[in-house]
């Protein structure tokens, strides 16, 4: 990198009044069998590496493995004692209720409180740093949901709240009732939807922009999933971008990005995360992995400094709209507020 590298900080705020955290967090969906089986010991090994490297933000949810992710995090915290509890800032979510008589998305005060208390019990905590509405329940005005979150904050069960996969207009309406600390959206060189409003709105109100799937579910790595691997992953094998002929087309479309990363002396996944970190000081990517080696590679992106020229080269090889296929299938789009 040249001397005119864009300056980025070594820590980021989890919301305007939130704690300082490492610029990259842990996407703990990887502690559930979403992309393949994972053991408790593998999850604990990643968390041990996180403490060693200073990575102190974990993002999980009650539905990840139907509680498995929260249980693995909870068992780690219990086994490592107060040092781990004091170190990590933990976010969890509720609102997805598939199979529930009132589902598939529920934002009622009673439901959110019950699910939060279940999460606190699994995690072994009295309070989480951040509690997200995982998906919006349109039967309840977003202003009422923000009010529920405010009461949970007053009671000390959560320190702050966030919203996941929501439109900028809904974000602003909620924020006017009670300040929103974070918004979570899929954001990467594969999906730039947040550039059309969420990125700007979150910055304007001082909320963190938490970017999930920041390496494009493998398409922005040096070893993107092939057809055989995708066949073993229920979510991906029904996702348009991972169904042939789109999968092969996306592999080919990513070749230039992988070559660029190699020419810059870094893995493609590191460059993908560095690009996100340079999109705004409030952007916090949360990649997930079951591998300590891969985890260290991902977190190294926090030290990468890109120039305006570097960012322009990335845009050249990964222009907006490069991907083949829709972001989600019709079923996968359910619950996501589409605003573009």
Active site residue: 64, 132, 161, 187, which one?
64
Q: Is 67 left (phi over 0), alpha (psi -120 to 50) or beta?
A: left
| Cα 17 from Cα 159, distance rounded (Å) | 10
d(CA 329, CA 189): 19
d(CA 279, CA 99): 38
Exposure string of 198-212, with b = 16+ CB inside 10 Å and e = fewer, is: bbebbbebbbbbbbb
Catalytic annotation present for 35 = no
How crowded is the C-beta side of 166, counted as CA atoms within 13 Å?
29
8 A C-beta contact, residue 114 and residue 75 = no
Pick from 114, 99, 160, 164: which is nearest to 135 by CA?
164
Q: Which residues are catalytic?
A: 64
């Amino acid at each position: 990198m040249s001397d005119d590298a864009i300056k980025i900080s070594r820590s980021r705020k989890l919301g305007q009044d939130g704690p300082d955290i490492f610029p990259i967090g842990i996407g703990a969906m990887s502690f559930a069998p979403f992309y393949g089986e994972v053991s408790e010991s593998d999850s604990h090994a990643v968390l041990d590496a996180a403490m060693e490297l200073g990575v102190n933000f974990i993002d999980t949810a009650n539905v990840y493995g139907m509680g498995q992710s929260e249980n693995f995090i909870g068992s780690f915290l219990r086994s490592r004692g107060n040092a781990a509890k004091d170190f990590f800032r933990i976010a969890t979510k509720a609102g997805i209720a598939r199979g529930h008589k009132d589902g598939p998305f529920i934002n009622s005060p009673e439901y959110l409180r019950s699910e939060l208390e279940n999460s606190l019990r699994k995690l072994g905590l009295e309070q989480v740093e951040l509690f997200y509405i995982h998906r919006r329940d349109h039967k309840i005005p977003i202003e009422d949901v923000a009010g529920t979150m405010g009461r949970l904050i007053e009671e000390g069960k959560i320190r702050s709240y966030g919203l996941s996969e929501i439109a900028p207009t809904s974000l602003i309406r909620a924020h006017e009732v009670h300040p929103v600390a974070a918004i979570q959206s899929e954001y990467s060189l594969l999906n730039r939807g947040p550039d059309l409003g969420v990125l700007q709105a979150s910055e304007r109100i001082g909320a963190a922009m938490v970017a999930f799937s920041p390496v494009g579910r493998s398409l922005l790595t040096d070893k993107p999933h092939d057809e055989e691997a995708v066949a073993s992953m229920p979510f991906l094998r029904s996702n348009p971008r991972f169904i042939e002929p789109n999968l092969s087309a996306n592999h080919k479309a990513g070749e230039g990005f992988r070559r660029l990363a190699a020419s810059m002396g870094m893995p493609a996944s590191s460059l993908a995360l560095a690009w996100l970190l340079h999109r705004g000081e409030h952007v916090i990517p949360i990649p997930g992995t079951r591998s300590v080696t891969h985890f260290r590679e991902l977190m190294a992106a926090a030290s990468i400094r890109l120039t305006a020229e570097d960012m322009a080269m990335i845009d050249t090889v990964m222009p907006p709209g490069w991907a083949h296929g829709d972001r989600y299938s019709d079923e996968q789009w359910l619950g996501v507020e589409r605003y573009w």
